[in-house]
Structure formats: C-alpha cells, structure tokens
Amino acid sequence: MSSYSLADAIKPSRKSVPPSKAAKGRKGDIDLPDYIAPEPKTAAERREWDRMSSRMEGFHTYFRMSFKQLFELADGSFAQRGLSVKDFMSVAEDFHEHLGFHHGIEERHIFPVLAKRMPQFRDDHQEEHDVIHKGMDELQALIAKYRSDPSSYSPDDFRRNLASWGPLLFYHLDAEVETLKPDILRRYWTLDEVRRLPM
C-alpha cells in the first residue's frame, strides 16, 4: 500500500520553489502601475477580458484530470483496465509530452510578451515551471526504466515522483489562471492591447 495519497499529491502548494532574487527584493505585494483599465461595459467586453483566463483554464483542466488519473492508476489498477506496464507508461508519456509542449508554448510565445509588464510571468510562473520540469525529468527517467524492464515497476516510486511535484503543479495551474483574470489584466493592459495578446 502506497504512503502517498491523491489528496496530498494535488493539494496546491508553492513551498517547493526556492525564493527568487526578485522575490527576496520585494516587500509585500507586487507594485502595480497607476493605470487601471475601465471596467467592462458590455458582456462582449467581459468575454474579451476573460478570453485568456478561460482558454488557459481549459488546458489546465485537462492537466489536472490527467495527473489525477495517472496517480490513481499508479497503484497497479491500470491492469484492471487491460493495460500492461508498457501501456501505462504510454499514458504517462502522453501526459508528460502534452504538459511539456504546453509549457514550451507558454515560455516561447506567451510569457515573454506578458513579462514586459507583468512580473509574475518573468519571475513566479517561470520559477514554478523550472521546478515542475525537474519533477517531469525524473518522471521521464522512470518511464524509460519501466518501459525497458516492466518487472521493475514500483507503484510507490511512481507515486513518490508525482507527489513530489504535484502540489506545485496544482498551485501553478490555479495561479496562472488567476493572474490572467480581468481584474489583474486591467492593471497592466488596455482592452485593445488584451485583444492582441497571444493566446
């Protein structure tokens, strides 16, 4: 029986991220610009302000569900669904690839644009990615090990890996969406600018 519970593996927490130089230099909340865009006047404007957080939430919902499924099946119950260890490693590989691809798009196309005005995307969210990727690299090593020798599969080791970075992943998935909500975006961008932001 594994000592790692799903509840512990998905309880959002950022404590595994070491404080950054930027965070050490900050006192209290992030300094906000003096400008705040006006409240949306129509439902259509509200939808435009909501576009980025809504789309990001869609991607993040998939990652939450996939992570939970991996964790739950990791106890070996994948066999009850007719999956071999190699089949289950393919499921894990799909999750790993999709999350890595998503982060790659964010880091190349979205974060650099948002980071010009929003320090959260220059510091906090990038630091979270860096720590999450360490856990993902360890997951990839386990996938390779169990593919080459399915008899070495250890539910406890697999869950230990997921539990080591799951809380940060779930924190990050929530925090990134919150940072893209209209009340935050309005502190940094105009509606016309938001319409042109990549997403």
Three-class HEC string of the chain? CCCCCHHHHCCCCCCCCCCCHHHHHCCCCCCCCCCCCCCCCCHHHHHHHHHHHHHHHHHHHHHHHHHHHHHHHCCCHHHHHCCCHHHHHHHHHHHHHHHHHHHHHHHHHHHHHHCCCCHHHHCHHHHHHHHHHHHHHHHHHHHHHHHHCHHHCCHHHHHHHHHHHHHHHHHHHHHHHHHCCHHHHCCCCCHHHHHHCCC
pTM of the model: 0.88
Question: Of residues 146 and 13, which shows the higher confidence score?
Answer: 146
For 1-31, write each residue's pLDDT tens digit: 567 889 988 999 998 887 665 444 444 445 5
Q: Does domain 51-196 have CATH number 1.20.5?
A: no
| Average pLDDT of the segment spanning 161-183 | 96
For 42-56, write each residue's pLDDT tens digit: 999 999 999 999 999
